[in-house]
Amino acid sequence: MRKRYLITFGIVLFILVIDQVIKFWIKTSFAFDDPSVPLIGEWLQLNFVENQGMAFGTQLGGGMWGKLTLSIFRVVMIGAIIYYILKQIKKPDVKLEFLIVSAMVLAGAAGNLFDSMFYDFIFRDYFDPCISYNQVEGSGIFSECSYFGYTEMVEVRHRGFLFGNVVDMFQFNVIWPSWVPWLGGGQVFPAIWNVADFAISCGMILVLLRQKIYFPKEKTSKE
C-alpha cells in the first residue's frame, strides 16, 4: 500500500512541478504582445495568454462572483478527488493504472488552482490593468490607461487570493482543409492550454476509454 501512495502522489508532485516551472518561465520571460514561438514545426506553438477561467479558458460566469465561485468549486473538487483517491488506494483490487490516471486529474486541477490562489501575490509587478485579460466589465474597480496619448478609465478585475489569472501557453496551429464543410479554413483546436489542462484531459479521456477495466462489473452467481 505504501508503494501506491508513493507512486500516486509522486506523480501529482511531478506534474505540479513541471506545470509551475513552465508557467514561471513563461510569466517572467514573455510579454502579452510577444509573437508566437514555434515549438514543433509550425503546428505546436508557444503563445502566452492568461485567463480567469477553467481548462482551455472556459469560464464560469463573469466578474468577481464568477471567478470566486470557480475557485471555490476547484477547492471542493480537489478535496473530493483526494478523498476518493485515498479510499481507492486502500482497496486491494484497485489497478495502479487507475491511481496514476486519478493522480493526473488531481495534479491538473491543483496546478490551475495554484495560479488563482497565489499568482497575484507572487507576480505583483506583472499586473497591467491596460491588458485585456485584466479588464472585467462590471467589476466596479477602475484604473487609468493611456493609449497613444489618449487616457481612459477601464474596469479591471479583482485581485488577491483565489482571483489570480491562470497562465496558458501551448497552442496547436492546425487548420482544417478548405473543403471541410463549416470548418474549412478554421483552426482544429483554437484553445490555448497548459500542462495542467493537458493532464486533466488525458486523465479524463483514459477514464472514458478504459472504464470497463477500471470499474469491472462484479459477476453475480446464478441461483
Share of the chain above pLDDT 90, in %: 65
Q: Lowest mean pLDDT: which of 14-28, 53-67, 112-126? A: 53-67
Q: What local confidence, expressed as pLDDT, does residue 7 receive?
A: 97
Q: How confident is the model at residue 183 (pLDDT cuts 50, 70, 90)?
A: confident
Angstrom distances, CA of residue 70 to CA of 112, 116, 159, 203: 11, 10, 15, 20
Interval 162-169 mean pLDDT: 94
Q: How confident is the model at residue 223 (pLDDT cuts 50, 70, 90)?
A: very low
CA 167 from chain centre, in angstroms, equals 8
Question: Taking the model in full, what pTM does it have?
Answer: 0.89
Q: Tell me the average pLDDT of the chain.
A: 89
CA 170 from chain centre, in angstroms, equals 11
Q: Where are the domains of the chain?
A: 2-214
- Which grid coordinates are listed for 98? 487507475
Write out the catalytic residue numbers: 168, 197
